[in-house]
Homo-oligomer: A and B are copies of this chain.
């Protein structure tokens, strides 16, 4: 790739990050191009679809997911506290950008989504936590990772749409934790 093309690409990702943060993942792409100082054609050559741009942006988050799992699992207390801490991290990771939770979770089941690799990282992270719970014998039988991811995605989407704070989200996560753990 030519050096100027490389520069433009990086600049586009940087600007898109800011624009999406301000106005959500549905923000006008023409504005991303304008603020990056390139023509729309250039944007669409680098990122043929909106999803391609989303994917490029999320690449930076993905690296952090593992760290968030560890952080949650280091929480003081028993399995329930650890699980809830992780659920909170999960929701918070999904709601970084307006509109992200719904988009990411929607692509969970579908093989050909451009976001598939991203959402798979989230699903894998959740699975690792559930597995650890199972090893401690606190997980109910028949709890499926995909279902839990979708439940959390649903909570995150509601939090996104209604601008909920952590204290409003917590009781929903409590219900899910109760539903997932033996007691």
Contacts and interface: CB of A to CB of B under 8 A. Distances in A.
Contact of A162 (B106, B142, B172): B106
A46 interface: no
A151 B177 CA distance: 13
A153 B148 contact: no
A174 B179 contact: yes
A178 interface: yes
Contacts of A147: 171-172, 175
A102 interface: yes
Number of copies: 2
Contacts of A177: 179
A144 interface: yes
A134 interface: no
A108 interface: yes
A108 B163 CA distance: 12
Nearest to A155: B154
Most chain B C-beta atoms within 10 Å of own C-beta, residue among A140, A142, A155, A161:
A161
Given A154-B154, A154-B155, A178-B180, 4 more contacts: A106-B158, A151-B151, A175-B180, A179-B180
23 contacts: A102-B102, A105-B158, A105-B162, A106-B158, A106-B161, A109-B164, A142-B171, A147-B172, A147-B175, A150-B158, A150-B162, A151-B151, A151-B154, A151-B155, A151-B172, A154-B155, A157-B157, A157-B158, A174-B179, A175-B176, A175-B179, A177-B179, A183-B183
